[in-house]
């Protein structure tokens, strides 16, 4: 059962289906995401979690054998009918499971997207770089070596640099795909603190294979399994009270998955 509170919807997904060739991986799901909430998405491998994010920001377009049906609207605009997909993608920041730094300096990693958008004034770029690195809790560690290669940072620092880069085009929505899969627990907790602050300014969709991470961070949690929503409710209902579906309880208790 899917619970959707009566609130403003920033993202609305209706009867979304996705196939890769003949294989259907998302099977007619519908849900909404509200402004300034963290929506956690949990589920076993091959449940369609990453594919869902790729549908939302239309990077699924780069997969030749993919076929999408249904509707996804952001702020009332159908993302598959938008006249400018690049504007859509600037609205959505993406953070991948493994940090993928550009072969550029720390400064240029963060300044890359603003420059692509036409910003060239050094003072404005300096301000954006500092702001994004501060938001990603990285500024104090790198402020004296901004000209150093971003790829020389530690794994945890590179992941925070990835977040800073995702924030550099001032997105309204931030999508994170198992961001902590390759970093240590201490860095994971630091980034979780960052996300708690960022939710004051944007909407966050957090795909995670760590159920307790969803429990710590998410306002609501969706359990996705075999391309279908088993349950979507307030996080405390999913984890602390009584989930409506037996499969949800068994998954969060670690009985399977």
All domains of the chain, ordered by start, with CATH?
Answer: 11-252 (3.40.50.300)
Residue 24 CB neighbours (<10 A): 15
Q: Is the pLDDT of residue 22 over 80?
A: yes
More confident residue, 181 or 31: 31
Give the side-chain half-sphere CA count within 13 A for 93. 27
Residue 221 bridge partners (DSSP): 40, 233
Q: What is the mean pLDDT of residues 2-8?
A: 52
d(Cα 160, Cα 194) in Å, to the nearest integer?
A: 9
Per-residue confidence (pLDDT) for residue 257, from 0 to 100: 64
The residues, ordered by sequence, that sit 6+ positions from 87 with a Cβ below 8 Å of its Cβ are none
Tokens at residue 250, please?
């068994």
Residue 99 CB neighbours (<10 A): 23
Nearest alpha carbon to residue 166 among 216, 100, 221: 100
Q: Which residue has the tokens 């994170």?
A: 176
Q: Is the pLDDT of residue 101 over 80?
A: no
Q: What is the mean pLDDT of residues 179-200?
A: 88
More confident residue, 241 or 136: 136
Per-residue confidence (pLDDT) for residue 82, from 0 to 100: 83
Contact at 8 Å (CB) between 195 and 167?
no
The residues, ordered by sequence, that sit 6+ positions from 10 with a Cβ below 8 Å of its Cβ are 33, 34, 35, 74, 75, 172, 173, 203
d(Cα 191, Cα 147) in Å, to the nearest integer?
A: 23
d(Cα 134, Cα 203) in Å, to the nearest integer?
A: 19
Q: Is the pLDDT of residue 44 over 70?
A: yes
Q: Is the pLDDT of residue 2 over 50?
A: no
């Amino acid at each position: 059962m899917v619970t959707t509170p009566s609130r403003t919807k920033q993202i609305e997904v209706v009867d979304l289906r996705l196939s890769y060739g003949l294989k259907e991986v998302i099977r007619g799901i519908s849900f909404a995401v509200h402004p300034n909430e963290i929506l956690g998405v949990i589920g076993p491998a091959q449940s369609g979690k990453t594919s869902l994010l790729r549908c939302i920001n239309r990077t699924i377009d780069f997969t030749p054998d993919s076929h999408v049906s249904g509707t996804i609207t952001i702020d009332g605009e159908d993302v598959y009918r938008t006249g400018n997909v690049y504007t859509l993608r600037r609205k959505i920041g993406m953070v991948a499971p493994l940090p993928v730094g550009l072969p550029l300096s720390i400064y240029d990693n963060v300044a890359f997207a603003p420059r692509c958008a036409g910003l060239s004034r050094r003072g404005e770029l300096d301000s954006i770089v500092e702001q994004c690195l501060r938001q990603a809790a990285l500024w104090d560690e790198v402020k004296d070596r901004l000209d150093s290669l971003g790829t020389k940072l530690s794994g945890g620092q590179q992941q925070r640099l990835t977040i800073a880069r995702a924030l550099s085009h001032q997105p309204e929505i931030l999508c994170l795909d198992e961001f902590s899969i390759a970093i240590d627990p201490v860095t994971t907790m630091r980034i979780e603190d960052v996300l708690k602050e960022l939710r004051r300014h944007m909407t966050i969709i957090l795909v995670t294979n760590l159920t307790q991470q969803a429990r710590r961070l998410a306002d609501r949690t969706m359990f996705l399994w075999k391309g279908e929503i088993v349950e979507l409710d307030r996080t405390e209902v999913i984890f602390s009270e009584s989930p409506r579906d037996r499969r949800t309880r068994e998954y969060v208790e670690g009985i399977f998955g």
